[in-house]
Structure 1
């Protein structure tokens, strides 16, 4: 899957969640709330990874692939909300890091 497709599908899913937020809470989450939700899920990836490696007791280890995917989704959403192109963000990071490691 191309990162552009990830961005487009992520935006469509986020739009659907915004509709639910308006229905249940009267307003959409802010970019800051989205960032906090991402950080929460990133923390869960840490715990689920520890569980996967036998370093943290959990019966939810099977959720690790989904949580990793959700974190990527959140990053695409956050890039979009900041007016950034997700694919460009990833490309620039990779290029900069590869150059720094030469």
Structure 2
């Protein structure tokens, strides 16, 4: 599960980006702009996965592991902005799936 420290660090990084957005554009990104950034990064990750599978050529300056972590970070940032307790929601989701699939703890 995500630790409180890890979530706090994600929030701190997002806050630093907010400060840059305000400095350079006079206002922070909207939630929709955050989501657009996530979808852009998902596109990069798609190409990196295809490259790893030998189905695409490597044209991005990114690494798959980095983009995967960045996408998780974006989801955490979006949950924070939407006032969603992602730790609790992950717990609820996993319990439901474990029950549905008969997974015993």
* TM-score (norm. length: structure 1): 0.89
Shift of residue 17 of structure 1? 0.2
Partner of 1:72: 72
Q: Which sections of structure 1, spanning at least 5 residues, go unmatched?
A: none
Partner of 1:26: 26
* TM-score (norm. length: structure 2): 0.86
Q: CA RMSD in A?
A: 1.8
Aligned positions, number: 102
Which of 1 and 2 has higher RCO (CA within 8 Å, sep 6+)?
1
Moved over 6 A (4+): none
Q: Which sections of structure 2, spanning at least 5 residues, go unmatched?
A: none
Pair 1:53–1:40, CA change in 2 (3 A) = same
Bigger helix fraction: 1
Structure with greater Cα Rg: 2
Q: Distance in 2 between matches of 1:98 and 1:23?
A: 46
